[in-house]
A and B are shown apart, each in its own frame.
Chain A
Amino acid sequence: MPNQEFQLPEPYRDTSRKIIHIDMDAFFSSVEERDNPSLKGKPVIIAKHPKKTGGKGIVSTANYEARKYGVHSAMSAYKAYELCPNGIFIDGNYPAYREASHQIREIMQRYTTLVEPVSIDEAYLDVTHNKKEIPSGTIIAKQIQKDIWNETRLTSSAGVSYNKFIAKIASDMDKPAGLTVIPPEEALSFLRQLSIEKFHGVGPKTAEKMHRLNIFSGEDLYQMEQMDLISNFGKAGISYYNRVRGIDNKPLCMKRERKSVGKEHTYFNNLTTDQEVLDELWQLAKEVVRSLQRVQKHGKTVIMKIRYRSFETVTKRMSVPYYLDEPEEIFNQAASLWEEVGTIEKGVRLLGITITNLDPIEYKPITLF
């Protein structure tokens, strides 16, 4: 039982900001349909066709037509094929997606410099003070959606509110090409009627735990004591308590910190000797170091990924108490991980080295010899 005498002060709800969340509608497949109008009205699935890969691969996007069959992103391509055998599987033209994403970000930048890209197809904007001096977030959101459509022929959905958390939920309310505005006075009733699964940050595991505590809706969550939420969910408990009260004062994060840098290679002729593996690890180590240098970072953890002929995939990580930024050091760590977990007899189809636990390079010890 939490200490009943211990009460945290009630958090402050900042409603002074105007935040927009823009989420592109079925982004990859929309780009494909735009570039190939014959796809219109057909179920489009962005994934390698399972027949070409022997049943491997994952769906990165499905258009709304395909979603009617129950296909969704992160599903195995094989499952998608079972659900929707007539689906059109497309490998994915990533350069085209990146270009569209870049165009869209440029449009957003016309309105404000406060743009936080979340991923290739979504972003937050803080338009409290904006370059066009438009007082209404709703009008800006509408104009951005219109600009995006005019300039890229792609549709987007927007959520407008006074913080990131509500704007994000709002953008998801009316897809595709929707616009949902949640003003401060409506925020609390809006959040309280939501099912708990709709809360951003509540994944399936947390939802299950919430259900065990008889929390099914925002209303149920609202009734919980702050200390009870903290004792059940730790630090996240504070954030749940605040969010259901419409409180999320986090500012936009303009620069996404790189959390890891990695490289991987697939070998169509499987590697079958230790020497081949070591040679490839050395190549990967050099490439990873080049990427690290580009982002001016170094890290203390090496993650090694091995995929065998059978597609069995092993990852193993190892941390060292010093920063890794030389190819020799990274290679040594990777080689010892290979020695520890690798089995050459299984035939190596893919190798990857990732450095994580990154910090910016601020200093570098010089050695004596």
Chain B
Amino acid sequence: MHFTIDTNKFVTSVQHANRAVTSRTTIPILTGIKISATTEGITLIGSDSDISIETYIPYSDEEREYMTVHEEGEMVLQAKYFSEIVRKMPGETLTLKKDGQMAATIESDSVIFNLNGYDPENYPRLPQLEEDHVIQLPQHLLKDIIRQTVFAVSTQETRPVLTGVHFEIKDGKLTATATDSHRLAMRTIGVEAEETLEINNVIIPGKSLVELSRILDDAENMITIVVTSTQVLFKMENLLFFSRLLDGKFPLTSNMIPSEGKTSMTVSTKALIRSLERAMLLSREAKNNVIHLRSNGPKEIEISSVSAEVGKVKESLSTSDFDGEELQIAFNGKNISDALKVIDSENISILFTGAMSPFVVRPIDHEQMIHLFSPVRTY
């Protein structure tokens, strides 16, 4: 293998592939990135066996040619070193040449690296997916869905299904749901898919979605999503992102959302975030984040927090459209502010169903997002 390539173009591609590589893998060859060169272009693959990313640099596009391939071939090079080396190369182009059986010479301007690698024959093959279940979304929308749900996944391995975001397609609507059993984030959108297409219990690991979202653009470009029973594939231009799906049954969440409550109100999203952040300043080592909320007539609520060793805080916040009973409730403030931060609307409505039962937060200007929280019992 021997090629010379535009450094910037190559670096971007290597970095994308490198997103899938972790140093903590039990399979040594997966610490490497696989590079395949043909006269048509160069393919890079990184994988940690849960996530695999394949990027492709075509020989040329409408604008220009990016490379000269002197000799076709394959290599696997240590991602940790390789990605840093190419990033720090000084020249506009760099040359990569196979040097012996498994090693490579990487040159740019007067810099020469010799890097040992692995036998490419031993690199695992990426899954081949049956494209029976396919949907299409604009990238920016997928990026939004991820941002607005993935923060709510569980970080505990005790219930693995909760570490993923659940995707469901029904009646032309896609619903993404994440919950750690104390809070739940749900986002709905209309999708372009065959009308008969129904997908249920597809649980994508939160970690995969976080990585994917770092690659996604805020652009209108369409992304194609292929789902099988064990894998999901996100297809973009010159990039394939594979993730394994989580095994198990996601809790049935549709009937958890209460439609009627005892107390409801509208508050400014930003004002509530700021108020909660102030109240959480006293939480010792961010351990508890228990915030108390009390209605104070129809026009305002009181937000307060007490930390035995540190001190206490109290403030009032104006509300509108107050309806129902007086209320006093305690909750994890961090969970609420996490959710408020992904709500892009100016105002939210909160529907309480009692001091010891779940409450619902939603933007007031559309119906496509619901956040559900359980309160905290204080002693």
Stretch of B46-54, B69-77, B81-89, B176-184 that contacts chain A? B176-184
* Chain A residues within an 8 Å CB radius of B378: 362-363
B236 to chain A: closest CB distance in Å? 35
* A6 interfacial by beta-carbon distance below 8 Å: no
**Is the pair B158, A369 in contact by a Cβ cutoff of 8 Å?**
no
* Chain B residues within an 8 Å CB radius of A332: 158
* B230 interfacial by beta-carbon distance below 8 Å: no
* B377 interfacial by beta-carbon distance below 8 Å: yes
Bound complex: CA A368 to CA B375 (Å): 9
A266 to chain B: closest CB distance in Å? 30
* Chain B residues within an 8 Å CB radius of A320: 156
**Is the pair B290, A368 in contact by a Cβ cutoff of 8 Å?**
no
* Chain A residues within an 8 Å CB radius of B376: 363-366
Bound complex: CA A296 to CA B155 (Å): 26
* Chain A residues within an 8 Å CB radius of B179: 368-369
B28 to chain A: closest CB distance in Å? 23
* B256 interfacial by beta-carbon distance below 8 Å: yes
The dominant DSSP class at the B interface is loop
**Is the pair A363, B330 in contact by a Cβ cutoff of 8 Å?**
yes
* Chain A residues within an 8 Å CB radius of B181: 367-369
Bound complex: CA A109 to CA B196 (Å): 81
**Is the pair B379, A363 in contact by a Cβ cutoff of 8 Å?**
yes
A368 to chain B: closest CB distance in Å? 5
B156 to chain A: closest CB distance in Å? 7
**Is the pair A366, B356 in contact by a Cβ cutoff of 8 Å?**
yes
**Is the pair B377, A366 in contact by a Cβ cutoff of 8 Å?**
yes
| Total contacting residues, chain B, CB less than 8 A | 27
A324 to chain B: closest CB distance in Å? 11
Q: Which single residue of chain B is at the shortest CB-CB distance from A359?
A: B287
Q: Which single residue of chain B is at the shortest CB-CB distance from A320?
A: B156
Instruction: Say which residue of B184, B288, B308, B379 sits within 8 Å of A368 (CB atoms).
Output: B184
**Is the pair B379, A362 in contact by a Cβ cutoff of 8 Å?**
yes
Known contacts A332-B158, A362-B379, A363-B330; is-contact A369 B290 (Cβ 8 Å): no
Q: Which single residue of chain A is at the shortest CB-CB distance from B356?
A: A366
Q: Mark A334-364, 1 if CB is under 8 A from B, else 0.
A: 0000000000000000000000000101111
**Is the pair A363, B374 in contact by a Cβ cutoff of 8 Å?**
no
* A329 interfacial by beta-carbon distance below 8 Å: yes
Bound complex: CA A369 to CA B357 (Å): 11
* Chain B residues within an 8 Å CB radius of A369: 179, 181, 251, 253, 256
* Chain A residues within an 8 Å CB radius of B184: 368
* A321 interfacial by beta-carbon distance below 8 Å: yes
Bound complex: CA A122 to CA B377 (Å): 39
**Is the pair A363, B290 in contact by a Cβ cutoff of 8 Å?**
yes
B266 to chain A: closest CB distance in Å? 23
Bound complex: CA A359 to CA B288 (Å): 11
* B7 interfacial by beta-carbon distance below 8 Å: no
Bound complex: CA A320 to CA B158 (Å): 11
B291 to chain A: closest CB distance in Å? 11
Known contacts A364-B376, A366-B376, A367-B182; is-contact A321 B155 (Cβ 8 Å): yes
* A268 interfacial by beta-carbon distance below 8 Å: no
* A322 interfacial by beta-carbon distance below 8 Å: yes
**Is the pair A363, B377 in contact by a Cβ cutoff of 8 Å?**
yes
Bound complex: CA A306 to CA B357 (Å): 42
Q: Mark A162-186, 1 if CB is under 8 A from B, else 0.
A: 0000000000000000000000000
Q: Mark B350-366, 1 if CB is under 8 A from A, else 0.
A: 00000011100000000
Bound complex: CA A363 to CA B289 (Å): 10
Q: Which single residue of chain B is at the shortest CB-CB distance from A296?
A: B379
**Is the pair B372, A368 in contact by a Cβ cutoff of 8 Å?**
yes
* Chain A residues within an 8 Å CB radius of B43: none
* Chain B residues within an 8 Å CB radius of A322: 156
**Is the pair A365, B251 in contact by a Cβ cutoff of 8 Å?**
no
Bound complex: CA A368 to CA B356 (Å): 11
* Chain B residues within an 8 Å CB radius of A368: 179, 181-184, 256, 358, 372, 374
A282 to chain B: closest CB distance in Å? 16
Bound complex: CA A158 to CA B114 (Å): 76
Q: Which single residue of chain B is at the shortest CB-CB distance from A368?
A: B374
B185 to chain A: closest CB distance in Å? 12
* Chain A residues within an 8 Å CB radius of B308: 362
* B332 interfacial by beta-carbon distance below 8 Å: yes
Bound complex: CA A365 to CA B143 (Å): 30
- Listed in ascending order, the chain A residues whose CB lies under 8 Å from chain B are 296, 320-322, 329, 332, 359, 361-369
**Can you list 12 pairs linking A and B with CB atoms under 8 Å apart?**
A296-B379, A332-B158, A362-B308, A362-B378, A363-B288, A363-B290, A363-B376, A364-B376, A365-B332, A367-B374, A368-B181, A368-B182
Question: What 6 A-B pairs come out closest when comparing CB atoms?
Answer: A366-B374, A363-B378, A367-B181, A364-B377, A363-B376, A368-B374
- Listed in ascending order, the chain B residues whose CB lies under 8 Å from chain A are 155-156, 158, 179, 181-184, 251, 253, 256, 287-288, 290, 308, 330, 332, 356-358, 372, 374-379
Q: Add 10 more A-B contacts to A296-B379, A363-B376, A368-B374 (CB < 8 A).
A: A332-B158, A362-B308, A363-B288, A363-B290, A363-B378, A366-B182, A367-B181, A368-B181, A368-B183, A369-B256
